[in-house]
Amino acid sequence: MITKYKPRPKRPAGELPAKNFSDQSAKIGAPDYQGSKLKIMVLGGLEEVGRNMTVLEYGQEIIIIDMGLQFPEEDMPGIDYIIPNISYLEDKTDRIKGIIITHGHYDHIGGIPHLMGKLGNPPMFMGKLTAGIVRKRGQEFNKCPKLDIQEIDEISKMQLGKNFRVEILRVNHSIPDCFAIIVHTPAGTVIHSGDFKIDYSPVNDKPADLNRIAQLGGQGVLLLMSDSTDATHTGYQISESSIGDEMGKIFEKLDGRIIIGTFASQLSRVQKLFDLAERFGRRINLQGRSMNDNVEIAHQIGYLKFNPRILVEDHELDRLPDNKVMIVGTGAQGESNAFLTRVVNGEHRSVNLKAGDTVIFSSSVIPGNERSIQTLMDMMVRQGAKVINYEMMDVHAGGHAKQEDLKLMMRLIKPEYFMPIEGNHYMLRAHAELAEQVGIPKNKILVADNGQIVEFHKSAGGGAIGRLTKDKVITDYVMVDGLGVGDVSNIVLRDRRVMAEDGMIVIIATVDSKTGDTIGNPDIISRGFVYMRENKELIQKTRMKVKKIVKDHDPRTPADDDYIKNKIRNDIAQFLFSQTKRRPMVLPVVIKV
């Protein structure tokens, strides 16, 4: 049975949504299971940027932090995204006491609609904006159960089961309502940073309480799990407020339309754009479903502040002078179906590029998208537009702490153990080196792989001893492709890659069921391999090869379909490679008549 958090009936705004720590009925330090160990395993986010999901287990109780998705890599044709593998949890759903979500980005919430039903739909705790985005996303999936969401803020405290007391710490990122999670366990206090940066003047958000962070450090922290996304970048992260100032200088010089590409989740950036539109007398046109949805949700709950009259619909754009228009949309990463790409390709129903337009890429480049973005910018310039990106001017502030900010966080918290999370392995190693620089002993820095179990147990002296075990839980990719979840295996991906690289050839052989001889010439269909009209000699040689393969069987025995198919597949593959040095996928079809 799932132990669910029970909120107070109709609590006033601002009141704690869960039990205060003064409730002594589940006192930490007197665990329900003597000799139990605290186990921590990250199911995604230690070998990639994305798919973030962390499991904390003590005795027979489990809590989960985040449940995100990862966007596909270049060698995953057709895959929409990847979600965590929850095989370890599927027979332990009665132990899950709650799920805490750090913020509303898809790499932290994207797996929720797919996984909550399999996890028994335990209670979830998240900020108000995050809750709005998660509810909206859940409605788009028929198999997603009605989610039990409890809204929290920085003063919330929850008792989850008997072994986990949770506090919330507000941090800054590129979207409001971002939290670090403080988990008090019988083994000690664990802090999960979530995505964060140090921003002393955030947009539409409160700055992180550095005094409280220092107080936590003074009380003793067993383990800090910290965001490593920008651990390879030196210095301090730029404040979001400074981006608005830089863009204001750009806007002063522009008379044509301004088209801005950014992430739909960069709501702090979007607020700055609304402020600048009002300042320069421009109307805003929003493009992209996710952009429209996020702006609507954030405006309804008061996180985005603007006069609705500033918005303009597509059909009204032609009525406005160019110097009164700002178009904000998605596609700054060169995504094939996003707003900016459709505009450049002339496929958008109401927006076309023209001379005098200025396109601002207000986002950094996600690794792997460099070529797509460069192609997009080239096409824009050819169509007469001017392009500005973050490398030319400060039109983008990252949402993740850089090296000096990361070191500040470690110095304030002073953890006994340190575990870098949220990044590729080289990012984790870079973060581990920073930890050494601030004085954390190397043997207390835990750099793990996905699924590798980190274990803490009580020592004779009363403290806790941590270690990185050799045990691992399953963290294989679960790929989402259309309506299919987990039904695309590595074998299917391999076949897609083969077809993408060398194409395919279909060989249809009609065989006499009595004699085993071919009837007529085999039919051949080539897709992505060779153009048949220009390679008649190769196609004819292939036909003759197939006829010989079929004829070479023992005439005293009926031809076996599988034998013939395998023979055609193997021999023709070798023949085509000898002729072309390419390895197309060979698909034999044998029809007996």
Could you give the C-alpha distances from 199 to 120, 175, 203, in angstroms and in order? 38, 12, 9
Candidates 420, 456, 450; CA nearest to 435 is: 420
Of the listed 227, 405, 481, 502, which one is catalytic? 227
Q: What are the residue ranges of helices labelled H in 188-288?
A: 210-219, 240-251, 267-279
HSE, CB side, 13 Å, CA atoms: give it for residue 466. Answer: 27
Q: In 10 A of CB 388, how many CB atoms?
A: 19
> Are both 37-235+398-484 and 240-389 of the same fold?
no
State residue 370 phi and psi, 5-degree precision: -55, -45
| pLDDT score of 206 | 80
Encoded amino acid at 402, one letter: K
Query: Which residue type, as a one-letter code, is found at position 317?
Result: L
- 176's torsion region: left (phi>0), alpha (psi -120 to 50) or beta? beta
Helix (H) or strand (E) holding 98: strand 96-100
The angle that helices 536-551 and 561-580 make with each other, rounded to 10 degrees, is 150
Side chain identity at residue 140, one-letter code: E
Among the listed residues 108, 173, 400, 431, the single catalytic one is 400
Task: Give the Cα separation of 282 and 324 in Å (integer).
Answer: 4
CA 486 to CA 473: how far, in whole Å? 17
pLDDT of amino acid 396: 46
Q: Can you name the CATH fold of 240-389?
A: Rossmann fold (3.40.50)
Helix 289-300 / helix 128-138 crossing angle, nearest 10 deg: 140
What does each C-alpha distance from 524 to 120, 527, 539, 543, 548 come to in angstroms? 51, 10, 8, 8, 15
Token code pair at residue 460: 């004779």
Superfamily of domain 37-235+398-484: Ribonuclease Z/Hydroxyacylglutathione hydrolase-like (3.60.15.10)
Name every residue whose Cβ is closer than 8 Å to that of residue 516 and which is 6 or more positions away in sequence: 550, 551, 553, 555, 558, 559
The amino acid at residue 251 is F
CATH hierarchy code of domain 489-592 = 3.10.20.580
Largest CA distance in the chain: 90
Between CA 53 and CA 86 the distance in angstroms is: 10
Tokens, residue 219: 């009380």
pLDDT score, position 391: 57
The residue written with tokens 């910290």 in the block is 226
Rounded to 5 degrees, what are φ and ψ at 190?
Answer: -115, 130
Total H helices, total E strands in the chain: 14, 25
Active site residue 400: yes
The CA distance from 484 to 191, in Å, is 35
Place of tokens 């020592």: 459
CB atoms near residue 201 (< 10 Å) = 11
Tens-binned pLDDT, residue by residue, of the chain (593 aa): 333 343 434 444 344 444 433 333 333 433 343 457 999 999 999 998 889 999 999 999 999 999 999 887 666 666 778 899 999 999 999 999 999 999 999 899 999 999 999 999 999 999 999 999 999 888 888 888 999 999 999 999 999 999 999 999 999 888 888 999 999 999 999 999 999 988 887 776 788 888 999 999 999 999 999 999 989 988 888 776 666 667 788 888 888 888 888 888 888 888 888 988 999 889 999 988 888 999 999 998 888 889 989 998 988 888 898 889 999 988 766 566 778 888 888 888 888 888 888 888 877 656 556 677 788 888 888 888 888 876 554 454 577 889 999 999 999 999 999 999 999 999 999 999 999 999 999 999 999 999 999 999 887 777 889 999 999 999 988 877 765 676 566 777 777 777 777 788 888 888 877 776 778 888 888 887 877 778 888 888 888 888 888 877 655 555 567 778 888 888 888 888 888 888 888 888 888 77
- Tell me the domain boundaries of the chain: 37-235+398-484, 240-389, 489-592
DSSP string, 314-338: GGGGGGS-GGGEEEEES-TT--TTS
The answer to whether the CB of 44 falls within 8 A of the CB of 475 is yes
Helix/strand/coil (H/E/C) assignment for every residue in 241-252: HHHHHHHHHHHC
Positions of E strands within 365-500:
386-389, 417-421, 452-458, 464-472, 478-481, 484-485
